[in-house]
């Protein structure tokens, strides 16, 4: 993929939460405006608004999401590579969530300014 992408910075602080295998989606996350739940044989995990988390959970907190604008066709290749490669080269860690239509790149709030600068230098547009 050689075209530039437009990304929108989403406002809520997000958290990535590790849950026990088979525990299911917790009630406290169900009304989050951003919610991604994944189950594997090893764990259940979710991404949701940090404000929804009860105390005592194993979670990585203070993430911000950059959403790729528009619906991405399934045949399109290199979308995530065009975003994550420059970020990796700049030592910016990411967590990625994909949906049917698009991709979300989550970065820590502390490195958000650096991430935005790196993505812009790579030719992408970031709407803050």
What CATH number is associated with residue 69? Answer: 3.30.2130.10
- In this structure, what DSSP letter does residue 101 have? S
CB of 27 within 8 A of CB of 37?
Answer: no
First to last CA, the chain: 23
Q: What is the pTM of this model?
A: 0.93
Total domains in the fold of the chain: 1
In a domain, 74, yes or no: yes
Max CA pair span of the chain? 44
Cross-strand pairs, 60: 16
In a domain, 1, yes or no: no
In a domain, 123, yes or no: yes
Residue 1 has pLDDT above 60, yes or no: no
Domain that holds residue 66: 6-127
Q: What percent of the chain has pLDDT over 70?
A: 98
Cα-Cα-Cα-Cα dihedral sign, residues 107, 110, 111, 113: positive
Give the model confidence (pLDDT) of 69-91 as tens digits. Answer: 999 988 889 999 999 999 999 99
CB of 114 within 8 A of CB of 121?
Answer: no
In a domain, 109, yes or no: yes
Burial 15-27 (b: 16+ CB within 10 A, else e): bbbebeeeeeebe
Give the model confidence (pLDDT) of 91-125 as tens digits. Answer: 999 999 999 999 999 999 999 999 999 999 999 99
In a domain, 106, yes or no: yes
Segment (H or E) for 60 = strand 59-68
CB of 100 within 8 A of CB of 43?
Answer: no
In a domain, 64, yes or no: yes
In a domain, 91, yes or no: yes
Residue 2 has pLDDT above 90, yes or no: no
In a domain, 84, yes or no: yes
């Amino acid at each position: 993929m050689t075209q530039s992408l437009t990304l929108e910075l989403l406002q809520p602080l997000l958290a990535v939460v590790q849950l026990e295998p088979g525990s299911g989606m917790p009630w406290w996350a169900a009304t989050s405006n951003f919610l991604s739940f994944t189950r594997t044989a090893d764990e259940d995990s979710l991404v949701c608004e940090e404000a929804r988390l009860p105390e005592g959970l194993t979670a990585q907190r203070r993430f911000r999401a950059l959403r790729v604008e528009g619906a991405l066709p399934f045949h399109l290749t290199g979308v995530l590579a065009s975003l994550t490669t420059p970020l990796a080269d700049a030592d910016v860690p990411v967590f990625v969530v994909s949906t049917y239509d698009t991709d979300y790149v989550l970065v820590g709030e502390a490195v958000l300014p650096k991430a935005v600068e790196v993505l812009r230098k790579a030719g992408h547009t970031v709407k803050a």
